[in-house]
Amino acid sequence: MRPLRTILAPDFDPQTADTDDPEVQTILNFSETIATLVKHRLLDRELVQDWIWLAGFWERLGPAAERARRRTGAPSLYENLEALVASGG
C-alpha cells in the first residue's frame, strides 16, 4: 500500500505533510471512515484497535489535519478519528 509506505517513510515529516497530498488524504479519509463506523457502533472498537494503527496514523497525520481545519474553517474535519484516538481507540 503506497500511502502507508509514504507516511511511514523515514523522511516523512508530519510538520510539513499536507492533506492535498493524495497519500496523506487517502490514509486520513480511510481512518476517518473507520472511526465514524466505530462511533456509530457499526464496527467493534476492540476489533479496530487490534486491526488498524489509528493512533500512529493520527500521530503522523494529525498536524496536517489540524492545518486543514484552520485553512478550510471546518473544525469538524477528521474529528471522529481524533476522538477515537483520544479515547484510546
Query: In the structure, what pLDDT confidence band is assigned to residue 1 with cuts at 50, 70 and 90?
Result: low
Q: What's the whole-number mean pLDDT along residues 64-86? A: 97
Q: Please tell me the predicted confidence (pLDDT) of residue 78.
A: 98
pTM of the entire structure?
A: 0.93
Q: What's the whole-number mean pLDDT along residues 40-50? A: 97
DSSP state of 74: -
Q: Determine the longest span between alpha carbons in the chain, in angstroms.
A: 36
Ramachandran assignment for 43, one of left (phi > 0), alpha (psi -120 to 50 degrees), beta (any other): beta
**72 contacts: CB under 8 Å, gap ≥ 6:** none
Predicted confidence (pLDDT) per residue in 52-66, tens digit: 999 999 999 999 999
Predicted confidence (pLDDT) per residue in 17-34, tens digit: 999 999 999 999 999 999
